[in-house]
Chains A and B, each alone.
Chain A
Amino acid sequence: MVDALRGYALVASAWARAAAQYRVSLSTMIFSTLLITGLDFVEILIVFANTHRLAGFTVAQVAFLYGVAATCLGLADLLIGSIERLGERIRDGSFDAMLVRPIPALALAAADRFSVRRVGKLIQSIAILCWALAALDLGMTLERVGLLVLMLASGTVIFLAVFVVGAAFQFVAPGGRETMNAFTYGGGYLTQFPLAIYGRHLVQLVTFVIPLGFINWYPALQFLRAPDPLHLPAALHYLSPAVAALLVLVALGAWTTGLRRYRSTGS
């Protein structure tokens, strides 16, 4: 584990130093990433230019949901987002080189082409989250601070697990990179709105099958003291860390299984 983390840090910082050589290019890329991800929030603002409440939620409440989901996705994407290119590595055979190095392949694949420009997305998300907290003007009790920290940590871990499962899927289907986007970016987009707007079946799906609802929705209901429009048990509000831990096990299992099935494309 220590080996893996040290190896990851080593490779990631090498990529970061490489990117830092081209300062102008890096800063314009960070800026344009900030701009693109900002569009998601502009979309929310346009929705609220037409209505004061979306399924009973105000703009500040939705901004809070957005801020948490986007920060978690941004952090996970910054840390291991490049793993989505695993399929390319498998196809051109360069994944083999990762297997013979003295660092676990998962750590290497996660650090591969580590891209600093993704910080842009993170900055934008944290800014919106701060604005939402200010606009909500809730009393920041110890319970709320704890909930927020727990929400951000487990949400990030859930997204990390989704990334790893998506990468493991590419051992089976090396061309299937875009499928993964449906769950990572699609998951980020889905959770930026109150789950109450989705149909009953979709909510059940993201609660019990692909538990994206635990990234922000359930803990946020507790944080905002908002009534659950779907009347599910309140115990769900505190389950995020457990769900995140379970997903880590699933992700590691998927990765190991995928890796065992892997056969080199040869050279």
Chain B
Amino acid sequence: MRIYLRVAWLSCRRYATYRAATVAGAFTNTVFGFIRAYVLLAVWHARPHLGGYDATDAVTYCFLGQSLIMVLAIFGGELDLAERVRTGDIGIDLYRPVDFQAWWYAGDLGRGLYQVLVRGLPPFIVGALVFRLRLPRSPGLWLAFAVAVLLALSVSFALRYLIALTTFWIVDNRGIETLGGVAAMFFSGMLLPLVMFPGWLGSTARALPWAAMVQVPADVFLGKHGGDALIDVLGWQLAWVVALFVAGRVMTRVAARHLAVSGG
């Protein structure tokens, strides 16, 4: 267990070295937060109770989404796994006396926790200075939100891990990575809250694992689920985490058997 904590900590430190890029990125997330907030305000001006949200909920949702972009690496990537398969360094990784999937998971958790501080807090705080945002009322709800974000990060990791593993078969997997990023952006509710999606598109989007990434944590934050419903929705996230991790384990095994490292 200690080794994984160490991996997480080192990954956290590694990301802390890119300071200028971090400030630039947080600035851009904040700018987009403002533009999106006005779009949503215009929609909620026309439809004040759309999807059970009021205007304050919608704007809060928008800034939560901007804060979660880098934490959850919604655009994809942020795992060196694919690059290491391409270069052949993966041979070393497979020899390490640790669990392969857990090794990468630990690194990604370290990255995510660091991003919560530097990419998560700034857009939300700046947003709260200009707009009226809604905060969870009880400490219990804050705790539930923390759990929901951790589960969201786990779902995000598990999906990106599966995508990265495709490099074992397709060396240039940028096309798949791009499609994965598009799906995540659209179906997580990062672009627009899933409550705005009409009819079958909405119900499908809410059933897919990407909904566990932005829509579910945001609903927990806004207090849309109380009591048993809260347990249910966290359980739903956990179910996706388990299913996707199992898929990742199976695929790792097949991939390792398939692997032939080229070069010398």
Interface residues of A (CB under 8 A from B): 25, 28-29, 32, 35-36, 39, 42-43, 46-47, 49-51, 53-55, 173-179, 181-182, 186, 189-190, 193, 197-199, 202
Instruction: Report A-chain residues with C-beta under 8 Å of the C-beta of B46.
Output: 50-51, 53-54
A-B CB pair tally, cutoff 8 Å: 91
- B186 engages A29 (CB within 8 Å): no
Asked if B24 and A39 make an inter-chain contact with CB atoms under 8 angstroms apart, the answer reads: no
Some 27 contacts from A to B, beta carbons below 8 A apart, are: A28-B175, A29-B174, A29-B175, A32-B175, A32-B179, A32-B182, A35-B182, A36-B178, A39-B182, A42-B186, A46-B198, A47-B43, A47-B196, A49-B196, A50-B46, A51-B47, A55-B45, A175-B21, A175-B24, A176-B23, A179-B24, A179-B28, A182-B27, A182-B28, A186-B28, A186-B31, A202-B34
Verify if B246 is at the interface (C-beta below 8 Å from A): no
Q: By the criterion of a CB under 8 Å from any partner CB, how many residues of chain B are at the interface?
A: 36
Query: Measured between alpha carbons, how far is A163 from B221 in the docked complex, in Å?
Result: 38
Identify the interface centre among B20, B24, B27, B50: most chain A CB within 10 Å of its CB: B24
Contact yes or no, A178 B24, CB < 8 A: yes
Contact mask for chain B residues 221-262; partner A; CB cutoff 8 A; 1 contact, 0 none: 000000000000000000000000000000000000000000
CB of B175 to closest CB in A, whole Å: 5
Quick check: is B125 within 8 A (CB to CB) of the other chain?
Answer: no
With A197-B38, A202-B38 known, 11 other A-B pairs at CB within 8 A are A28-B175, A35-B182, A42-B186, A50-B47, A53-B46, A55-B42, A55-B45, A175-B20, A176-B20, A179-B28, A197-B39
| Residue in chain A with minimal CB distance to B25 | A178
Q: Are A51 and B43 in contact, CB atoms less than 8 angstroms apart? A: yes
Q: Is B185 an interface residue (CB 8 A)?
A: yes
| Minimum C-beta distance from A51 to chain B (A) | 4
In whole angstroms, what is the CA distance A47 to B51 when docked?
13
Give the contacts of B45-62 with A (CB-CB under 8 A): 45-47, 50
Report Cα–Cα, A202/B31, bound state, in Å.
Answer: 11
Q: Which residues 24-40 in B have Cβ within 8 Å of A in the complex?
A: 24-25, 27-28, 31-32, 34-35, 38-39
The A contact surface, by secondary structure, is: helix
Query: When chains A and B are docked, how far (Å) is the Cα of A259 from the Cα of B124?
Result: 36
Taking a contact as CB atoms under 8 Å apart, the answer to whether A49 and B43 are in contact is no
A175 to chain B: closest residue by CB: B20
Contact code string B1-29 (vs A, CB < 8 Å = 1, else 0) = 00000000000000000111101110110
Q: Is the CB of A189 within 8 A of B32?
A: yes
Cβ contact within 8 Å between A25 and B172: yes
Q: Is B191 an interface residue (CB 8 A)?
A: yes
Which residue of B has the minimal Cβ distance to A57?
A: B42
Q: CB < 8 Å: which of A32, A46, A50 contacts B178?
A: A32
Q: Residue B116 at the A interface, CB < 8 A?
A: no
Q: Does B211 contact A (CB under 8 A)?
A: no
B202-218: contact bitstring with A at CB < 8 Å (1 yes, 0 no)? 00000000000000000
Give CA–CA (A179, B34) in the complex, Å.
15
Are A181 and B28 touching (Cβ within 8 A)? yes
Query: A236 CB to closest chain B CB, in angstroms?
Result: 20
Given the interface pairs A46-B197, A178-B27, the reply to whether A186 lies near B32 with Cβ below 8 Å is yes
Q: Please, how many angstroms separate the alpha-carbon atoms of A49 and B175 in the complex?
A: 30
Q: Which residues from A are CB-within-8-Å of B185?
A: 39
Docked Cα-Cα span, A28 to B172, in Å, equals 12
- Complex CA distance for A42 and B183, rounded to whole angstroms: 13
